[in-house]
Structure 1
Protein backbone atom coordinates (compact mmCIF):
# COMPACT_ATOMS: atom_id res chain seq x y z
CA UNK A 1 0.00 0.00 0.00
CA UNK A 2 1.41 3.39 -0.96
CA UNK A 3 1.86 6.30 1.41
CA UNK A 4 -0.85 8.07 -0.58
CA UNK A 5 -3.35 5.28 0.08
CA UNK A 6 -2.44 5.02 3.78
CA UNK A 7 -2.67 8.73 4.45
CA UNK A 8 -6.35 8.95 3.55
CA UNK A 9 -8.47 11.97 4.36
CA UNK A 10 -9.44 13.86 7.45
CA UNK A 11 -12.99 12.54 7.28
CA UNK A 12 -12.10 8.89 6.83
CA UNK A 13 -8.59 7.88 7.90
CA UNK A 14 -6.94 5.31 5.62
CA UNK A 15 -9.31 5.98 2.71
CA UNK A 16 -7.81 7.71 -0.35
CA UNK A 17 -9.35 10.99 -1.56
CA UNK A 18 -12.45 10.42 -3.65
CA UNK A 19 -13.33 7.24 -1.80
CA UNK A 20 -11.68 3.80 -1.71
CA UNK A 21 -12.89 2.75 -5.16
CA UNK A 22 -12.29 5.96 -7.07
CA UNK A 23 -8.94 6.50 -5.35
CA UNK A 24 -7.60 3.00 -6.04
CA UNK A 25 -6.39 3.69 -9.61
CA UNK A 26 -4.34 6.63 -8.33
CA UNK A 27 -2.93 4.45 -5.59
CA UNK A 28 -1.91 1.88 -8.21
CA UNK A 29 -0.22 4.58 -10.29
CA UNK A 30 1.67 5.97 -7.31
CA UNK A 31 2.69 2.60 -5.90
CA UNK A 32 4.02 1.31 -9.22
CA UNK A 33 5.12 4.59 -10.73
CA UNK A 34 8.74 3.45 -11.07
CA UNK A 35 7.79 0.45 -13.22
CA UNK A 36 5.33 2.52 -15.25
CA UNK A 37 7.94 5.22 -15.82
CA UNK A 38 10.40 2.57 -17.03
CA UNK A 39 7.75 1.22 -19.42
CA UNK A 40 7.01 4.70 -20.75
CA UNK A 41 10.72 5.43 -21.15
CA UNK A 42 11.18 2.17 -23.08
CA UNK A 43 8.36 3.05 -25.46
CA UNK A 44 9.65 6.59 -25.98
CA UNK A 45 13.20 5.36 -26.57
CA UNK A 46 12.07 2.71 -29.06
CA UNK A 47 9.84 5.13 -30.97
CA UNK A 48 12.53 7.82 -30.91
CA UNK A 49 15.10 5.35 -32.21
CA UNK A 50 12.86 4.42 -35.14
CA UNK A 51 12.12 8.03 -36.05
CA UNK A 52 15.81 8.96 -35.83
CA UNK A 53 16.85 6.06 -38.05
CA UNK A 54 14.30 6.88 -40.75
CA UNK A 55 14.57 10.65 -40.74
CA UNK A 56 18.27 11.18 -39.96
CA UNK A 57 20.34 8.02 -40.32
CA UNK A 58 18.93 6.71 -43.61
CA UNK A 59 20.35 9.57 -45.71
CA UNK A 60 23.79 9.29 -44.10
CA UNK A 61 23.79 5.53 -44.72
CA UNK A 62 23.09 6.12 -48.41
CA UNK A 63 25.93 8.66 -48.51
CA UNK A 64 28.34 6.19 -46.91
CA UNK A 65 27.28 3.47 -49.33
CA UNK A 66 27.85 5.82 -52.28
CA UNK A 67 31.34 6.56 -50.93
CA UNK A 68 32.21 2.87 -50.77
CA UNK A 69 33.09 2.80 -54.47
CA UNK A 70 32.76 -0.03 -56.93
CA UNK A 71 34.72 -2.52 -54.85
CA UNK A 72 33.03 -1.68 -51.59
CA UNK A 73 30.79 -4.74 -51.29
CA UNK A 74 31.79 -5.40 -47.71
CA UNK A 75 31.47 -1.69 -46.92
CA UNK A 76 27.95 -1.64 -48.34
CA UNK A 77 26.88 -4.73 -46.42
CA UNK A 78 28.23 -3.31 -43.17
CA UNK A 79 26.29 -0.07 -43.58
CA UNK A 80 23.08 -1.90 -44.45
CA UNK A 81 23.55 -4.18 -41.45
CA UNK A 82 24.10 -1.25 -39.09
CA UNK A 83 20.90 0.45 -40.26
CA UNK A 84 18.63 -2.59 -40.28
CA UNK A 85 19.97 -4.00 -37.02
CA UNK A 86 19.12 -0.79 -35.14
CA UNK A 87 15.51 -0.98 -36.30
CA UNK A 88 15.54 -4.69 -35.56
CA UNK A 89 16.74 -4.11 -32.01
CA UNK A 90 13.84 -1.73 -31.37
CA UNK A 91 11.31 -4.34 -32.45
CA UNK A 92 13.06 -7.13 -30.54
CA UNK A 93 13.23 -5.14 -27.31
CA UNK A 94 9.55 -4.17 -27.36
CA UNK A 95 8.36 -7.57 -28.59
CA UNK A 96 10.03 -9.55 -25.81
CA UNK A 97 9.08 -7.02 -23.16
CA UNK A 98 6.12 -9.30 -22.40
CA UNK A 99 8.53 -11.23 -20.15
CA UNK A 100 9.06 -8.06 -18.11
CA UNK A 101 5.29 -7.47 -18.03
CA UNK A 102 4.67 -11.01 -16.76
CA UNK A 103 7.38 -10.63 -14.12
CA UNK A 104 6.01 -7.27 -12.98
CA UNK A 105 2.41 -8.49 -12.80
CA UNK A 106 3.30 -11.68 -10.93
CA UNK A 107 5.90 -10.23 -8.60
CA UNK A 108 5.17 -6.59 -7.80
CA UNK A 109 1.60 -5.99 -8.95
CA UNK A 110 -0.13 -9.01 -7.41
CA UNK A 111 2.17 -11.47 -5.66
CA UNK A 112 3.96 -9.03 -3.37
CA UNK A 113 0.75 -7.37 -2.16
CA UNK A 114 -0.84 -10.73 -1.35
CA UNK A 115 2.37 -11.86 0.33
CA UNK A 116 2.84 -8.84 2.60
CA UNK A 117 -0.85 -8.31 3.40
CA UNK A 118 -1.47 -4.92 1.78
CA UNK A 119 -4.11 -6.46 -0.47
CA UNK A 120 -6.04 -7.74 2.51
CA UNK A 121 -5.82 -4.27 4.07
CA UNK A 122 -7.36 -2.73 0.95
CA UNK A 123 -10.22 -5.24 1.11
CA UNK A 124 -11.16 -3.95 4.57
CA UNK A 125 -11.63 -0.42 3.17
CA UNK A 126 -14.80 -1.07 1.14
CA UNK A 127 -12.81 -2.37 -1.85
CA UNK A 128 -13.90 -5.86 -2.80
CA UNK A 129 -11.21 -8.37 -3.88
CA UNK A 130 -12.72 -8.45 -7.37
CA UNK A 131 -12.67 -4.65 -7.70
CA UNK A 132 -9.13 -4.58 -6.30
CA UNK A 133 -7.86 -7.04 -8.91
CA UNK A 134 -9.80 -5.38 -11.73
CA UNK A 135 -8.25 -2.01 -10.95
CA UNK A 136 -4.80 -3.50 -10.50
CA UNK A 137 -5.01 -4.97 -14.00
CA UNK A 138 -6.89 -2.16 -15.73
CA UNK A 139 -4.29 0.53 -15.11
CA UNK A 140 -1.31 -1.30 -16.67
CA UNK A 141 -3.55 -2.79 -19.38
CA UNK A 142 -4.52 0.67 -20.61
CA UNK A 143 -0.88 1.72 -20.71
CA UNK A 144 0.14 -1.49 -22.49
CA UNK A 145 -2.49 -1.05 -25.17
CA UNK A 146 -1.73 2.64 -25.66
CA UNK A 147 2.04 2.28 -25.77
CA UNK A 148 2.00 -0.91 -27.84
CA UNK A 149 -0.41 0.53 -30.41
CA UNK A 150 1.71 3.63 -30.92
CA UNK A 151 4.81 1.49 -31.34
CA UNK A 152 3.14 -0.79 -33.89
CA UNK A 153 2.13 2.13 -36.11
CA UNK A 154 5.56 3.75 -35.86
CA UNK A 155 7.34 0.46 -36.52
CA UNK A 156 5.21 -0.30 -39.59
CA UNK A 157 6.12 3.13 -40.95
CA UNK A 158 9.82 2.70 -40.17
CA UNK A 159 9.99 -0.85 -41.55
CA UNK A 160 8.45 0.20 -44.87
CA UNK A 161 10.13 3.60 -45.24
CA UNK A 162 13.55 2.48 -46.55
CA UNK A 163 13.19 -1.05 -47.77
CA UNK A 164 16.34 -0.69 -49.91
CA UNK A 165 18.35 -0.39 -46.69
CA UNK A 166 16.59 -3.11 -44.71
CA UNK A 167 17.67 -6.72 -44.38
CA UNK A 168 14.87 -7.91 -42.08
CA UNK A 169 12.04 -9.76 -43.80
CA UNK A 170 8.50 -10.27 -42.59
CA UNK A 171 9.14 -13.82 -41.30
CA UNK A 172 11.53 -12.74 -38.52
CA UNK A 173 9.87 -13.37 -35.14
CA UNK A 174 10.11 -9.82 -33.85
CA UNK A 175 9.16 -8.23 -37.17
CA UNK A 176 6.21 -10.60 -37.57
CA UNK A 177 4.80 -9.56 -34.18
CA UNK A 178 5.76 -5.88 -34.19
CA UNK A 179 3.93 -5.09 -37.43
CA UNK A 180 0.51 -5.82 -35.95
CA UNK A 181 -1.68 -6.32 -32.88
CA UNK A 182 0.10 -9.51 -31.81
CA UNK A 183 2.66 -7.32 -30.05
CA UNK A 184 -0.08 -5.78 -27.89
CA UNK A 185 -1.67 -9.18 -27.36
CA UNK A 186 1.56 -10.63 -25.97
CA UNK A 187 1.78 -7.77 -23.47
CA UNK A 188 -1.79 -8.36 -22.28
CA UNK A 189 -1.12 -12.08 -22.12
CA UNK A 190 1.91 -11.47 -19.90
CA UNK A 191 -0.26 -9.32 -17.65
CA UNK A 192 -2.96 -11.99 -17.34
CA UNK A 193 -0.54 -14.88 -16.82
CA UNK A 194 1.37 -12.87 -14.24
CA UNK A 195 -1.82 -12.04 -12.38
CA UNK A 196 -2.87 -15.69 -12.30
CA UNK A 197 0.55 -16.79 -11.03
CA UNK A 198 0.46 -14.12 -8.34
CA UNK A 199 -3.04 -15.03 -7.15
CA UNK A 200 -2.33 -18.76 -7.09
CA UNK A 201 1.12 -18.69 -5.48
CA UNK A 202 0.78 -15.52 -3.37
CA UNK A 203 4.54 -15.14 -3.23
CA UNK A 204 6.36 -12.72 -5.46
CA UNK A 205 9.49 -14.61 -6.50
CA UNK A 206 7.88 -18.02 -7.22
CA UNK A 207 5.06 -16.28 -9.09
CA UNK A 208 7.56 -14.27 -11.13
CA UNK A 209 9.42 -17.41 -12.20
CA UNK A 210 6.28 -19.35 -13.08
CA UNK A 211 4.80 -16.46 -15.07
CA UNK A 212 7.95 -16.00 -17.15
CA UNK A 213 8.17 -19.76 -17.71
CA UNK A 214 4.58 -19.97 -18.93
CA UNK A 215 5.06 -17.00 -21.26
CA UNK A 216 8.19 -18.63 -22.67
CA UNK A 217 6.23 -21.80 -23.46
CA UNK A 218 3.38 -19.86 -25.08
CA UNK A 219 5.69 -17.75 -27.21
CA UNK A 220 8.13 -20.55 -28.08
CA UNK A 221 5.42 -22.88 -29.33
CA UNK A 222 3.63 -20.21 -31.34
CA UNK A 223 6.89 -19.21 -33.01
CA UNK A 224 7.75 -22.87 -33.63
CA UNK A 225 4.40 -23.70 -35.22
CA UNK A 226 3.67 -20.30 -36.75
CA UNK A 227 3.96 -21.67 -40.28
CA UNK A 228 1.05 -24.02 -39.53
CA UNK A 229 -1.36 -21.28 -38.45
CA UNK A 230 -2.57 -20.86 -42.03
CA UNK A 231 -2.70 -23.33 -44.95
CA UNK A 232 0.48 -23.06 -47.01
CA UNK A 233 0.45 -22.53 -50.75
CA UNK A 234 2.06 -24.84 -53.28
CA UNK A 235 3.76 -23.84 -56.54
CA UNK A 236 2.13 -24.54 -59.87
CA UNK A 237 3.07 -27.89 -61.49
CA UNK A 238 6.52 -27.70 -63.02
CA UNK A 239 7.39 -24.46 -61.26
CA UNK A 240 9.52 -23.91 -58.19
CA UNK A 241 9.37 -21.27 -55.50
CA UNK A 242 11.54 -18.25 -56.19
CA UNK A 243 13.70 -17.34 -53.21
CA UNK A 244 12.90 -13.83 -51.99
CA UNK A 245 12.03 -11.90 -48.86
CA UNK A 246 8.37 -12.06 -49.92
CA UNK A 247 8.24 -15.86 -49.67
CA UNK A 248 8.46 -18.04 -46.58
CA UNK A 249 9.49 -21.49 -47.72
CA UNK A 250 8.40 -24.37 -45.50
CA UNK A 251 11.36 -26.61 -44.79
CA UNK A 252 9.70 -30.01 -45.18
CA UNK A 253 10.85 -30.66 -48.75
CA UNK A 254 7.33 -30.58 -50.24
CA UNK A 255 7.63 -27.18 -51.95
CA UNK A 256 5.05 -25.55 -49.69
CA UNK A 257 5.41 -21.87 -48.95
CA UNK A 258 3.74 -18.79 -47.53
CA UNK A 259 3.60 -15.70 -49.75
CA UNK A 260 3.61 -12.34 -48.02
CA UNK A 261 -0.14 -12.13 -48.59
CA UNK A 262 -0.47 -14.77 -45.84
CA UNK A 263 1.00 -12.42 -43.28
CA UNK A 264 -2.26 -10.94 -42.01
CA UNK A 265 -4.20 -14.24 -41.78
CA UNK A 266 -1.32 -15.85 -39.88
CA UNK A 267 -0.80 -12.80 -37.72
CA UNK A 268 -4.46 -12.47 -36.77
CA UNK A 269 -4.75 -16.18 -35.94
CA UNK A 270 -1.73 -15.88 -33.63
CA UNK A 271 -3.16 -12.70 -32.11
CA UNK A 272 -6.44 -14.50 -31.42
CA UNK A 273 -4.65 -17.40 -29.74
CA UNK A 274 -2.57 -15.10 -27.54
CA UNK A 275 -5.61 -13.03 -26.58
CA UNK A 276 -7.46 -16.25 -25.81
CA UNK A 277 -4.72 -17.27 -23.39
CA UNK A 278 -4.84 -13.77 -21.88
CA UNK A 279 -8.61 -13.97 -21.33
CA UNK A 280 -8.42 -17.47 -19.86
CA UNK A 281 -5.57 -16.54 -17.51
CA UNK A 282 -7.29 -13.34 -16.38
CA UNK A 283 -10.62 -15.10 -15.86
CA UNK A 284 -8.90 -17.86 -13.90
CA UNK A 285 -7.18 -15.24 -11.71
CA UNK A 286 -10.56 -13.71 -10.80
CA UNK A 287 -12.07 -17.15 -10.18
CA UNK A 288 -9.24 -18.24 -7.87
CA UNK A 289 -9.38 -14.93 -5.97
CA UNK A 290 -13.15 -15.20 -5.43
CA UNK A 291 -12.82 -18.79 -4.26
CA UNK A 292 -10.11 -17.91 -1.75
CA UNK A 293 -11.78 -14.80 -0.40
CA UNK A 294 -15.20 -16.35 -0.45
Structure 2
Protein backbone atom coordinates (compact mmCIF):
# COMPACT_ATOMS: atom_id res chain seq x y z
CA UNK A 1 0.00 0.00 0.00
CA UNK A 2 2.79 2.41 0.90
CA UNK A 3 4.66 1.74 -2.34
CA UNK A 4 1.46 2.27 -4.39
CA UNK A 5 0.77 5.63 -2.70
CA UNK A 6 4.34 6.86 -3.19
CA UNK A 7 4.38 5.72 -6.79
CA UNK A 8 1.08 7.44 -7.61
CA UNK A 9 2.27 10.65 -5.96
CA UNK A 10 5.51 10.56 -7.92
CA UNK A 11 4.01 10.06 -11.37
CA UNK A 12 3.98 13.24 -13.48
CA UNK A 13 1.23 13.82 -16.02
CA UNK A 14 2.83 14.20 -19.49
CA UNK A 15 -0.36 15.77 -20.84
CA UNK A 16 -0.17 18.65 -18.37
CA UNK A 17 3.57 19.23 -18.13
CA UNK A 18 5.56 20.28 -21.24
CA UNK A 19 8.97 18.71 -21.86
CA UNK A 20 10.78 22.01 -21.32
CA UNK A 21 9.46 22.27 -17.79
CA UNK A 22 11.60 21.15 -14.84
CA UNK A 23 9.77 18.51 -12.78
CA UNK A 24 10.96 18.11 -9.21
CA UNK A 25 9.43 15.73 -6.69
CA UNK A 26 10.28 13.36 -3.83
CA UNK A 27 10.23 9.64 -4.53
CA UNK A 28 11.10 7.13 -1.80
CA UNK A 29 14.63 8.11 -0.62
CA UNK A 30 15.40 10.46 -3.49
CA UNK A 31 14.65 13.81 -5.03
CA UNK A 32 13.98 13.37 -8.75
CA UNK A 33 14.35 16.21 -11.22
CA UNK A 34 13.38 15.68 -14.84
CA UNK A 35 14.26 18.10 -17.62
CA UNK A 36 14.20 17.58 -21.39
CA UNK A 37 14.45 13.82 -21.28
CA UNK A 38 17.07 13.68 -18.51
CA UNK A 39 16.32 12.43 -15.01
CA UNK A 40 18.54 13.68 -12.16
CA UNK A 41 18.56 11.54 -9.00
CA UNK A 42 19.64 13.21 -5.75
CA UNK A 43 19.48 12.01 -2.12
CA UNK A 44 16.46 13.05 -0.08
CA UNK A 45 16.90 14.49 3.45
CA UNK A 46 18.09 11.94 6.00
CA UNK A 47 14.82 12.00 7.95
CA UNK A 48 12.96 10.83 4.84
CA UNK A 49 15.46 8.04 4.22
CA UNK A 50 15.20 6.89 7.85
CA UNK A 51 11.41 6.71 7.63
CA UNK A 52 11.47 4.24 4.71
CA UNK A 53 14.21 1.79 5.68
CA UNK A 54 11.90 -1.25 5.64
CA UNK A 55 10.59 -0.79 2.11
CA UNK A 56 12.22 -2.53 -0.87
CA UNK A 57 12.28 0.21 -3.52
CA UNK A 58 13.17 -1.91 -6.55
CA UNK A 59 9.63 -2.76 -7.76
CA UNK A 60 8.49 0.86 -7.43
CA UNK A 61 11.61 2.27 -9.12
CA UNK A 62 11.32 -0.23 -11.97
CA UNK A 63 7.63 0.60 -12.41
CA UNK A 64 8.38 4.33 -12.36
CA UNK A 65 11.19 4.04 -14.91
CA UNK A 66 8.99 2.01 -17.26
CA UNK A 67 6.39 4.79 -17.06
CA UNK A 68 8.80 7.74 -17.21
CA UNK A 69 9.67 9.54 -20.44
CA UNK A 70 13.27 10.07 -19.26
CA UNK A 71 15.79 8.86 -21.83
CA UNK A 72 18.89 9.01 -19.61
CA UNK A 73 19.73 9.18 -15.91
CA UNK A 74 22.26 11.29 -14.01
CA UNK A 75 23.12 10.13 -10.49
CA UNK A 76 24.43 12.50 -7.83
CA UNK A 77 27.89 11.42 -6.54
CA UNK A 78 26.69 12.08 -2.99
CA UNK A 79 24.21 9.19 -3.25
CA UNK A 80 25.07 6.06 -1.20
CA UNK A 81 26.73 3.25 -3.14
CA UNK A 82 23.69 0.96 -2.92
CA UNK A 83 21.47 3.68 -4.42
CA UNK A 84 23.80 4.22 -7.39
CA UNK A 85 23.98 0.47 -8.00
CA UNK A 86 20.19 0.17 -7.75
CA UNK A 87 19.46 2.96 -10.25
CA UNK A 88 22.20 1.74 -12.61
CA UNK A 89 20.84 -1.83 -12.54
CA UNK A 90 17.26 -0.77 -13.20
CA UNK A 91 18.23 1.82 -15.81
CA UNK A 92 20.08 -0.92 -17.71
CA UNK A 93 17.07 -3.20 -17.30
CA UNK A 94 14.84 -0.60 -18.95
CA UNK A 95 17.36 0.23 -21.68
CA UNK A 96 18.49 3.64 -20.41
CA UNK A 97 22.09 4.85 -19.96
CA UNK A 98 23.09 6.07 -16.50
CA UNK A 99 25.95 8.41 -15.61
CA UNK A 100 27.42 10.17 -12.61
CA UNK A 101 26.37 13.83 -12.47
CA UNK A 102 29.72 15.60 -12.85
CA UNK A 103 30.43 19.24 -13.55
CA UNK A 104 33.45 21.02 -15.01
CA UNK A 105 33.88 24.56 -16.36
CA UNK A 106 35.16 23.19 -19.69
CA UNK A 107 35.83 19.89 -21.42
CA UNK A 108 38.71 21.30 -23.46
CA UNK A 109 41.25 19.84 -21.01
CA UNK A 110 40.34 16.32 -22.13
CA UNK A 111 42.76 14.82 -24.73
CA UNK A 112 40.02 14.13 -27.28
CA UNK A 113 39.26 17.86 -27.49
CA UNK A 114 42.87 19.07 -27.51
CA UNK A 115 44.16 16.42 -29.94
CA UNK A 116 41.15 15.17 -31.96
CA UNK A 117 43.02 13.46 -34.83
CA UNK A 118 45.59 11.54 -32.72
CA UNK A 119 42.74 10.63 -30.38
CA UNK A 120 40.81 9.01 -33.25
CA UNK A 121 43.94 7.04 -34.14
CA UNK A 122 44.10 5.89 -30.51
CA UNK A 123 40.45 4.81 -30.46
CA UNK A 124 40.63 2.77 -33.67
CA UNK A 125 43.98 1.18 -32.79
CA UNK A 126 42.60 0.33 -29.32
CA UNK A 127 39.68 -1.61 -30.74
CA UNK A 128 41.69 -3.38 -33.43
CA UNK A 129 44.44 -4.38 -30.97
CA UNK A 130 41.87 -5.55 -28.40
CA UNK A 131 39.99 -7.64 -30.98
CA UNK A 132 43.25 -9.22 -32.18
CA UNK A 133 44.33 -9.82 -28.58
CA UNK A 134 41.08 -11.61 -27.75
CA UNK A 135 41.53 -13.96 -30.70
CA UNK A 136 45.13 -14.74 -29.69
CA UNK A 137 44.18 -15.25 -26.04
CA UNK A 138 41.40 -17.81 -26.60
CA UNK A 139 43.64 -20.71 -25.41
CA UNK A 140 44.62 -18.68 -22.31
CA UNK A 141 40.97 -17.93 -21.54
CA UNK A 142 40.05 -21.61 -21.86
CA UNK A 143 42.96 -22.67 -19.64
CA UNK A 144 42.08 -20.14 -16.93
CA UNK A 145 38.42 -21.17 -17.03
CA UNK A 146 39.40 -24.83 -16.66
CA UNK A 147 41.53 -24.00 -13.59
CA UNK A 148 38.66 -21.99 -12.11
CA UNK A 149 36.21 -24.81 -12.71
CA UNK A 150 38.44 -27.20 -10.75
CA UNK A 151 39.52 -24.93 -7.89
CA UNK A 152 36.72 -22.36 -7.44
CA UNK A 153 33.21 -23.38 -8.57
CA UNK A 154 31.05 -20.43 -9.59
CA UNK A 155 30.80 -17.88 -12.42
CA UNK A 156 33.90 -17.46 -14.57
CA UNK A 157 33.42 -13.71 -14.97
CA UNK A 158 32.82 -10.88 -12.54
CA UNK A 159 30.90 -7.79 -13.65
CA UNK A 160 30.79 -4.57 -11.68
CA UNK A 161 29.57 -1.02 -12.28
CA UNK A 162 32.43 1.39 -12.99
CA UNK A 163 32.55 5.07 -13.94
CA UNK A 164 33.52 5.49 -17.58
CA UNK A 165 33.90 8.12 -20.29
CA UNK A 166 31.82 11.23 -19.58
CA UNK A 167 30.84 9.81 -16.19
CA UNK A 168 28.75 7.08 -17.86
CA UNK A 169 28.38 3.87 -15.87
CA UNK A 170 29.36 0.60 -17.52
CA UNK A 171 29.90 -2.96 -16.36
CA UNK A 172 33.56 -3.91 -16.31
CA UNK A 173 34.34 -7.56 -17.16
CA UNK A 174 37.04 -9.45 -15.26
CA UNK A 175 37.82 -13.02 -14.35
CA UNK A 176 36.35 -13.72 -10.92
CA UNK A 177 39.10 -13.76 -8.29
CA UNK A 178 36.89 -13.89 -5.20
CA UNK A 179 34.28 -16.20 -3.77
CA UNK A 180 30.82 -15.86 -5.37
CA UNK A 181 28.77 -12.88 -4.09
CA UNK A 182 31.89 -11.29 -2.59
CA UNK A 183 30.41 -7.81 -3.16
CA UNK A 184 27.92 -8.43 -0.34
CA UNK A 185 30.80 -8.52 2.15
CA UNK A 186 32.81 -5.63 0.70
CA UNK A 187 32.19 -3.05 3.43
CA UNK A 188 32.36 -5.69 6.12
CA UNK A 189 35.90 -6.57 4.98
CA UNK A 190 37.11 -3.03 4.20
CA UNK A 191 35.55 -1.35 7.24
CA UNK A 192 36.52 2.33 7.40
CA UNK A 193 39.70 1.90 5.38
CA UNK A 194 40.88 5.15 3.81
CA UNK A 195 42.07 5.36 0.23
CA UNK A 196 41.39 2.76 -2.44
CA UNK A 197 39.45 -0.22 -1.15
CA UNK A 198 42.11 -2.88 -1.68
CA UNK A 199 43.53 -5.27 0.92
CA UNK A 200 46.40 -7.69 0.55
CA UNK A 201 44.87 -10.02 3.16
CA UNK A 202 41.33 -9.88 1.73
CA UNK A 203 39.78 -13.20 2.87
CA UNK A 204 37.38 -13.25 -0.11
CA UNK A 205 40.17 -13.86 -2.64
CA UNK A 206 40.47 -17.47 -3.82
CA UNK A 207 43.88 -19.20 -4.24
CA UNK A 208 43.53 -19.19 -8.04
CA UNK A 209 42.29 -15.60 -7.82
CA UNK A 210 45.41 -14.51 -5.92
CA UNK A 211 47.59 -15.97 -8.66
CA UNK A 212 45.52 -14.27 -11.38
CA UNK A 213 45.76 -10.93 -9.60
CA UNK A 214 49.52 -11.20 -9.16
CA UNK A 215 50.04 -11.44 -12.93
CA UNK A 216 46.97 -9.36 -13.94
CA UNK A 217 45.37 -12.33 -15.72
CA UNK A 218 42.02 -11.32 -14.24
CA UNK A 219 42.22 -8.07 -16.22
CA UNK A 220 42.34 -9.75 -19.65
CA UNK A 221 38.53 -9.89 -20.21
CA UNK A 222 38.53 -6.08 -20.11
CA UNK A 223 39.59 -6.34 -23.75
CA UNK A 224 35.86 -6.89 -24.37
CA UNK A 225 35.21 -3.47 -22.78
CA UNK A 226 37.81 -1.96 -25.12
CA UNK A 227 36.17 -3.51 -28.20
CA UNK A 228 32.82 -2.13 -27.02
CA UNK A 229 34.37 1.36 -26.76
CA UNK A 230 33.86 1.59 -22.99
CA UNK A 231 37.58 1.53 -22.18
CA UNK A 232 40.98 2.10 -23.73
CA UNK A 233 44.18 0.07 -23.53
CA UNK A 234 45.78 3.03 -21.71
CA UNK A 235 43.98 5.53 -19.52
CA UNK A 236 43.02 6.43 -15.95
CA UNK A 237 41.68 3.77 -13.60
CA UNK A 238 37.90 3.17 -14.01
CA UNK A 239 36.66 3.85 -10.48
CA UNK A 240 34.39 1.38 -8.75
CA UNK A 241 31.35 3.06 -7.19
CA UNK A 242 32.63 2.58 -3.63
CA UNK A 243 35.82 4.48 -4.57
CA UNK A 244 34.13 7.08 -6.82
CA UNK A 245 31.76 8.37 -4.14
CA UNK A 246 34.71 9.07 -1.80
CA UNK A 247 36.70 11.15 -4.29
CA UNK A 248 36.93 14.85 -3.28
CA UNK A 249 34.67 17.13 -5.33
CA UNK A 250 37.74 18.99 -6.63
CA UNK A 251 38.96 15.79 -8.36
CA UNK A 252 35.68 14.38 -9.68
CA UNK A 253 36.15 15.88 -13.15
CA UNK A 254 38.82 13.18 -13.70
CA UNK A 255 35.94 10.70 -14.00
CA UNK A 256 34.94 12.34 -17.31
CA UNK A 257 38.00 10.82 -19.00
CA UNK A 258 38.06 7.54 -20.93
CA UNK A 259 39.37 4.83 -18.55
CA UNK A 260 42.03 2.30 -19.46
CA UNK A 261 43.23 -1.20 -18.61
CA UNK A 262 46.66 0.15 -17.73
CA UNK A 263 47.83 3.67 -16.98
CA UNK A 264 50.19 5.98 -15.12
CA UNK A 265 49.15 4.69 -11.68
CA UNK A 266 49.50 1.04 -12.67
CA UNK A 267 53.07 1.33 -14.02
CA UNK A 268 54.43 3.73 -11.39
CA UNK A 269 52.83 2.60 -8.13
CA UNK A 270 49.90 0.19 -8.48
CA UNK A 271 48.76 -1.17 -5.09
CA UNK A 272 51.76 0.37 -3.32
CA UNK A 273 49.93 3.72 -3.64
CA UNK A 274 46.29 3.68 -2.50
CA UNK A 275 45.74 7.36 -1.66
CA UNK A 276 42.76 8.53 -3.75
CA UNK A 277 44.02 12.09 -4.21
CA UNK A 278 47.54 11.00 -5.19
CA UNK A 279 46.21 8.49 -7.74
CA UNK A 280 43.89 11.16 -9.14
CA UNK A 281 46.81 13.59 -9.50
CA UNK A 282 48.80 10.95 -11.39
CA UNK A 283 45.91 10.45 -13.78
CA UNK A 284 45.32 14.19 -14.26
CA UNK A 285 49.01 14.68 -15.04
CA UNK A 286 48.79 11.89 -17.64
CA UNK A 287 45.71 13.48 -19.21
CA UNK A 288 47.34 16.92 -19.25
CA UNK A 289 50.38 15.58 -21.14
CA UNK A 290 48.66 12.92 -23.24
CA UNK A 291 50.15 11.78 -26.53
CA UNK A 292 50.27 8.58 -28.58
CA UNK A 293 53.95 8.19 -27.66
CA UNK A 294 53.04 8.49 -23.97
CA UNK A 295 50.49 5.68 -24.36
CA UNK A 296 53.03 3.51 -26.17
CA UNK A 297 55.55 4.14 -23.38
CA UNK A 298 53.03 3.08 -20.72
CA UNK A 299 52.16 -0.08 -22.67
CA UNK A 300 55.84 -1.01 -22.92
CA UNK A 301 56.33 -0.36 -19.19
CA UNK A 302 53.28 -2.49 -18.38
CA UNK A 303 54.73 -5.72 -19.81
CA UNK A 304 57.65 -6.12 -17.34
CA UNK A 305 55.47 -4.93 -14.44
CA UNK A 306 52.90 -7.64 -15.21
CA UNK A 307 55.56 -10.32 -15.74
CA UNK A 308 57.08 -9.64 -12.32
CA UNK A 309 53.79 -9.11 -10.48
CA UNK A 310 54.88 -5.60 -9.43
CA UNK A 311 52.67 -4.08 -6.70
CA UNK A 312 49.84 -6.52 -7.28
CA UNK A 313 47.45 -7.99 -4.71
In terms of fraction of residues, the more helix-rich structure is 1
TM-score, scaled to structure 2: 0.27
Q: Which structure is higher in strand share?
A: 2
Larger radius of gyration, structure 1 or 2? 1
Instruction: State TM-score, norm by structure 1.
Output: 0.29
